[in-house]
Amino acid sequence: MPTSILNLKNAPLQTPKLPGLHLIGDLFECSCESNRMFDAEWIAHHCLQLVEDAGLTAIAHVFHPFGEGGGVTGMVILAESHLSLHTWPEDGLVTIDVYVCNYSTDNRDKARRLFDALIHTYAPQNPRTFSIDRV
């Protein structure tokens, strides 16, 4: 049986609403305080505060430390979608991912505030950021 491939490249939106916004950051050469790379409890508290400050709504969260000298991976589930974060202290690298939908209101500026605050937290010397409009 042949494999079907779904191509939405030219598919029209079903409703005339604002697209969701997906912000992605690869933060190289972070020059932040070391606890911001290792301390899962600090990172979780800080992310939750930044979510609130941006005007978004946290529903649940999990942050997992990878032991002595290891980084942290974490996620905040938002009513508007999600925030994920991963640290690699040994490489001075952090990756962040903020996605919001705009089902009932425009959350794009809130997502940008959260994303910018996270970049500021990690003070990368060489950030690569991407902004993608999503359905």
From 64, 84, 86, 104, the catalytic residue: 86
Does the annotation mark 101 as catalytic?
Answer: yes
From 34, 64, 81, 104, the catalytic residue: 81
**Which is nearest to 115 in space by CA: 34, 32, 27?**
27
For residue 13, is it within any domain? no
From 84, 101, 120, 131, the catalytic residue: 101
Does the annotation mark 47 as catalytic?
Answer: no
**Which is nearest to 110 in space by CA: 83, 135, 75?**
83
Does the annotation mark 34 as catalytic?
Answer: no
Q: What is the mean pLDDT of residues 9-34?
A: 81
DSSP strand pairing (20-30 vs 93-100): antiparallel
pLDDT for res 69 = 87
pLDDT for res 14 = 53
Domain count along the chain: 1
Q: Which CATH number belongs to the domain containing residue 58 in this structure?
A: 3.60.90.10
Domain limits for position 25: 20-134
On whether the pTM is more than 0.95, the answer is no
